[in-house]
Homo-oligomer: A and B are copies of this chain.
């Protein structure tokens, strides 16, 4: 049986209600999430054993995050406590021509200030088959990046499949290093990478590119080069997003296995209930499908896209769409009929 470990940050998300702007809000909805945790929740929802590893502050807010992990049926047995605070981000939900707005307040979080060797990765990975991390952990602090590298190396040594969501956020590389100084070493052990081609090239220190995702031949070359630079890479995937407005997105996806390009049909997503975490939902769908239907890559990309689409209708950071709902869309029914 497959058991997946994800490692990273879980934050308190404070979002305004009813499309209110920050300056109008007298209350915030409080939820908890973060890229790698969101992937673990997706997997747990789909029936795959998932564990999330992080450090939480030893205060009531840290306990709230722990309760959320437990509630979502994600294993928290290796979560440790320490540091000063839980990272926070504020979210103002946009509509129409007004985009959503995120204000980060995540500096000096418990996971960002982690000390090297805080986790016993050998023990954590015992009996596990898959390790997932993301570029965010590499970006928040030197300490977090270092710990993540140890995790990756250990996972590699122990034979786990390793996946990464590149998740480049320029605002987060503030600790004095560039992605290309950090990421290549981390990515060399990866088997599955999700990200835009230009982001991947940038993080690997390759020349800047601006790929045309409708040109299949070109894509083949671009992805091939990516695989060449990451010796263990087997699968490269990209979420295609066309933003008509904050309330209307069009979502597709591409997957390359070294031989062939698999493309999912672009789907209309309107209205957008919650834009955040939709990439994580794609990632969760990708890992799930690679685990349960490893030989049907077309279904894999279709599943990831369907999961991503449905996440847009769900409040909060992580995806609560059910397997059945996703499969209905994979099978062509996106009509949103009432179930009764």
Q: Which of A3-21 contact B (CB under 8 A)?
A: 14, 17-21
> A107 — which chain B residues lie within 8 A by C-beta?
84-85, 108
Contact between chains at B340 and A104 (CB < 8 Å): yes
Distance in angstroms from A311 CB to nearest chain B CB is 10
A123 at interface, CB cutoff 8 A: no
Contact between chains at B22 and A97 (CB < 8 Å): no
Contact between chains at B63 and A321 (CB < 8 Å): no
Closest residue of chain B to A101, judged by CB? B339
Contact between chains at A59 and B321 (CB < 8 Å): no
Distance in angstroms from A309 CB to nearest chain B CB is 6
A269 at interface, CB cutoff 8 A: yes
> A325 — which chain B residues lie within 8 A by C-beta?
98
A99 at interface, CB cutoff 8 A: yes
- Bits for A78-115, please: 1 = Cβ < 8 Å to B, else 0: 00000011001010101111111111110110000000
A219 at interface, CB cutoff 8 A: no
Cβ contact of A96, chosen from B19, B29, B68, B271, cutoff 8 A: B271
Distance in angstroms from A159 CB to nearest chain B CB is 28
Say yes or no: A60-B101 contact (C-beta < 8 A), given A26-B29, A28-B14, A171-B340: yes
Cβ contact of A335, chosen from B24, B70, B92, B245, cutoff 8 A: B245
- Bits for A309-320, please: 1 = Cβ < 8 Å to B, else 0: 110111110001
Contact between chains at A271 and B269 (CB < 8 Å): no
Contact between chains at B334 and A267 (CB < 8 Å): no
> A23 — which chain B residues lie within 8 A by C-beta?
60, 63-64, 67, 320
Distance in angstroms from A285 CB to nearest chain B CB is 14
Closest residue of chain B to A325, judged by CB? B98
Contact between chains at B60 and A92 (CB < 8 Å): yes
Contact between chains at B27 and A336 (CB < 8 Å): no
Cβ contact of A270, chosen from B84, B243, B245, cutoff 8 A: B245
CA distance A338 to B64 in the complex (A): 20
- Bits for A52-63, please: 1 = Cβ < 8 Å to B, else 0: 000000011101
Distance in angstroms from A238 CB to nearest chain B CB is 17
A157 at interface, CB cutoff 8 A: no
Distance in angstroms from A174 CB to nearest chain B CB is 10
A22-B64, A245-B268, A247-B270 are known contacts; what are 4 more A-B pairs with Cβ within 8 Å?
A28-B28, A28-B30, A97-B269, A97-B334
Q: Would you mind naming 17 contact pairs between A and B with Cβ atoms under 8 Å apart?
A: A23-B60, A23-B63, A24-B320, A27-B28, A60-B90, A67-B71, A70-B70, A70-B73, A94-B336, A96-B270, A96-B336, A97-B336, A98-B310, A102-B339, A107-B108, A243-B337, A245-B270
Q: Which residues of A contact B (CB under 8 A)?
A: 14, 17-31, 59-61, 63-64, 67-68, 70-73, 84-85, 88, 90, 92, 94-105, 107-108, 169, 171, 243-248, 267-273, 275-276, 309-310, 312-316, 320-321, 325, 329, 334-340
